[in-house]
Structure 1
Amino acid sequence: MPEGKIIKALSGFYYVLDGDKIIQCRGRGVFRKNKITPLVGDEVVFQAENAQEGYILEVKERKNELVRPPIANVDQAILVFSAVEPVFSTTLLDRFLVLVEFNQIKPLICITKMDLVEEGLEVEIQNYANQYREAGYEVLMTSSETAEGVKELFPYLEGQISVFAGQSGVGKSSLLNALNPMLELKTNDISSHLGRGKHTTRHVELISIANGLVADTPGFSSLEFIDLEVEDLNYCFPDIQLKSEECKFRGCLHLAEPKCAVKLAVENGEIPSYRYDHYKDFIEEIRDRKPRY
């Protein structure tokens, strides 16, 4: 039986890429019975009824799965954050990074709208970029208007399934249009009343760019730490995890424990204080989370 990858799901149809052909498929009733929903990104076995249509018979095992947006087998998340309009937020970025790390997806931080940054603010944004690089992340500075940094994105996309994510109005669709002008994805100006952009992306679809597949999504519509436990958080901050190996006590949460290497690194300026503050805030949020039954 032929195999392929779902690149779009729309109105009960799944569009399966097999080589250079796209087959419009429906799911067999057995999926509903077994409560399996095929997702964009799934590797599937299908049966072709003719050259254009067929049925999905089997969904292969997934390496990861996001609920919102509904997509599977993601290799990396391009976290798109604007330097201005809306303002750069380390709190929101760290929240995205934790969710991405928890789902075992490689993050790439992409700071957009650099053409709008005034000189004084540019130093601040560059400092943030360097601090995140020192924490172990890849960071690119881009502008969809001037094409600054856009070409540097291409090598990251090759051979990968990538999700573009970030808050509304940061320029995800504009950046994708800059990568491939043929896309002509809709973009909306930021509402001056709300201070944010409107969602313009209606469904998840994998688009071929730079020999890779890219999903333009409305971002993570849920940024809550639903499945994350306190013990997981250490592993979602690579800079904190690295220093935690030097802590005296195994299982140190870096809160009130003595001889904690992480707290010492914060005092010495090796870990930015805002990263540690976010870590503590996230622990408190997880502890205050209402139990699910």
Structure 2
Amino acid sequence: MKGIIIKGIGGFYYIKTNEGIIECKARGKFRHNDLKPMVGDWVEIEVENNKGVIEKIYDRTSELIRPTVANVTQAFVVFAVKNPDINYELLNKFLLLCEYNNIKAIVCLNKSDLINGEEREYIKTKINNIGYEVIFIKAKFNEGISELNERLNDNVTVLCGPSGAGKSTLINVFSQETKMETGEVSEKIGRGKHTTRHSELLTIENGYVVDTPGFSTLDISFIEKEKLMYYFPDFEEYNDNCKFTGCVHHKEPNCAVKKALEEGKINEFRYDFYIKTLEEIGRKNKW
């Protein structure tokens, strides 16, 4: 019987199948092969005497470590436009991690009523120009939710972003049957309290959603410096046009990316983030 792991707690895995949700343990062979079942895994199970056992884990299309979830196909990157203001460096880090994990990212900007039309257009253009779709929402008032619902079908969607942006509120809006604790933003520090305790797939529309804890910092120094450029969609058409093979678009002459930057075809804030990340990777790996 085939199914998908929607939750894992204390060595037990809850598998959604055509015959309902079945509690299972995993065969010891997975542990010996250094393979642990993850939420989001498609698995083959056997049921004997009302007890389920995971026999096979199908190949994963993607694998996230924090949160621990497999086979995610898209991410709603949720930020508030105000209270707190958008931290573009943090946004860039989330987008970079989505690219690294081969996950399509859609930027969802909450509390959109706190900015005027001119500010909205400026933010939208800035993010569109680096290759990402932007959807403005007001989660507490169900505005913009229909656009997101359309994108849930046939996807495993992860919600990510800083605390206090409205991720848990958004899931409550998606499904009234899903009761999740929502946190208020701390006025003192401008961030929200973490309200999500574990990874769990929620069935919403014809797809699945997994919520994640909010983060204030993300480590991206594990990415190889030679590959970093390929996780920037706005660099794509210039990456292979440099004069020198192996150009990482930093100090090399006749660089196509730097030329595009000078011509205004690449945003300065993105290039600055790229260089900062490149140097961070260099310090971490001592090159």
Matching residue of 1:140: 135
Which string of whole-angstrom CA distances, capped at 9 and with x for unpartnered residues, describes residues 42-65 of structure 1?
1111111245x3111221221221
3-state DSSP class of the match of 2:182? coil
Tell me, in whole angstroms, the C-alpha distance in 1 between the residues paired with 2:52 and 2:19: 16
Which string of whole-angstrom CA distances, capped at 9 and with x for unpartnered residues, describes residues 184-241 of structure 1?
3210101122321111111111111121111012156872124311111111111012
Tell me, in whole angstroms, the C-alpha distance in 2 between the residues paired with 1:81 and 1:46: 39
Tell me, in whole angstroms, the C-alpha distance in 1 between the residues paired with 2:3 and 2:142: 34
Please tell me the root mean square deviation across aligned C-alpha atoms, in Å.
1.8
Cα 1:220–1:20, aligned 2, differ >3 Å: closer, same or farther?
farther
Within 5 A, what are the aligned runs for 1:1-293? 2-19=1-18, 21-50=20-49, 53-115=51-113, 117-119=114-116, 123-219=118-214, 223-290=218-285
* Stretches (4+) displaced over 4 A: 219-222
Cα 1:97–1:18, aligned 2, differ >3 Å: closer, same or farther?
same
Tell me, in whole angstroms, the C-alpha distance in 2 between the residues paired with 1:265 and 1:32: 49
Percent identity between matched residues is 43
Tell me, in whole angstroms, the C-alpha distance in 1 between the residues paired with 2:253 and 2:7: 52
**Contact 1:266 1:272 (8 Å CA) reproduced:** yes
- For 1:44, give the aligned amino acid: V
Normalising by structure 1, we get a TM-score of 0.92
**Contact 1:164 1:219 (8 Å CA) reproduced:** no
| Offset of residue 147 of structure 1 | 2.1
| Offset of residue 20 of structure 1 | 5.0
| Offset of residue 30 of structure 1 | 2.2
| Offset of residue 161 of structure 1 | 0.6
Long gaps (5+) in structure 2:
none
**Contact 1:68 1:220 (8 Å CA) reproduced:** no
Which string of whole-angstrom CA distances, capped at 9 and with x for unpartnered residues, describes residues 51-105 of structure 1?
5x31112212212211110001111111111101221011111111111101111
The total of aligned residue pairs comes to 286
| Offset of residue 268 of structure 1 | 2.3
- Tell me whether 210-219 or 126-135 shows the greater mean CA deviation: 126-135
| Offset of residue 11 of structure 1 | 2.0
| Offset of residue 273 of structure 1 | 0.6
**Contact 1:68 1:221 (8 Å CA) reproduced:** no
Tell me, in whole angstroms, the C-alpha distance in 1 between the residues paired with 2:58 and 2:216: 26
Tell me, in whole angstroms, the C-alpha distance in 1 between the residues paired with 2:71 and 2:179: 26
Cα 1:13–1:72, aligned 2, differ >3 Å: closer, same or farther?
same
Cα 1:218–1:189, aligned 2, differ >3 Å: closer, same or farther?
same
- For 2:62, give the aligned amino acid: N
- For 1:255, give the aligned amino acid: H
Tell me, in whole angstroms, the C-alpha distance in 2 between the residues paired with 1:44 and 1:187: 32
Tell me, in whole angstroms, the C-alpha distance in 1 between the residues paired with 2:45 and 2:221: 34
Tell me, in whole angstroms, the C-alpha distance in 2 between the residues paired with 1:222 and 1:25: 35
